[in-house]
Amino acid sequence: MSKTTPAARSKARRFVLQALYQMSLSGCSSTDVETQFFQDHDMKRVDTLYLHELLTGINANRTELKTAVATKLDREFDELDPVESAALYVGAYELLYRMDIPYRVSISESVELAKKFGASESYKLVNTVLDELAKTHRQAELKQP
């Protein structure tokens, strides 16, 4: 049974970041990585339904997400390191497709992933890009007090 607590969601995001990283290096499919993760990791405290949604949603909307992120970058998307791009995919997916998740949560979670797994300054890029995406895709939410 999948847990839906904030901590379980955070763990799902962490696994998705790791899965996207693995996919970028190995070229394997999201289905293969997801299967492997479920075999190799204890998923008792992970929101597995959300993990699946994120992984399949990012995969299905990769072109749109990449384009949305690329418009906010000061370099080519393909110049990002795999951790930066994975953190940006997670945050961008939530900002564009999961209006039920507050934009601040999406940005904060992706920034924390970049801090934990990325290069020392990666989190700054992730924060800046996702903040700009929120201004474009979450205008109504940004206007609320």
For the chain, the domains span 6-143
Q: What is the dihedral of CA 132, 134, 137, 139, to 10 degrees?
A: -110
This model's pTM is above 0.75: yes
The C-alpha atoms of residue 128 and residue 84 are separated, in whole angstroms, by 12
DSSP string over 56-115? HHHHHTHHHHHHHHHTT-SS-GGGS-HHHHHHHHHHHHHHHH-TTS-HHHHHHHHHHHHH
Do residues 65 and 92 lie in contact, with contact meaning Cβ atoms separated by under 8 Å? yes
| Per-position pLDDT tens, the chain of length 145 | 456 899 999 999 999 999 999 999 999 999 999 999 999 999 999 999 999 999 999 999 999 999 999 999 999 999 999 999 999 999 999 999 999 999 999 999 999 999 999 999 999 999 999 999 999 999 888 787 6
CATH topology of domain 6-143: N-utilizing Substance Protein B Homolog; Chain A (1.10.940)
Helix axes 62-70, 48-60, angle to 10 degrees: 80
- DSSP state, residue 123: H
The C-alpha atoms of residue 145 and residue 87 are separated, in whole angstroms, by 27
Tell me the residue length of the chain: 145
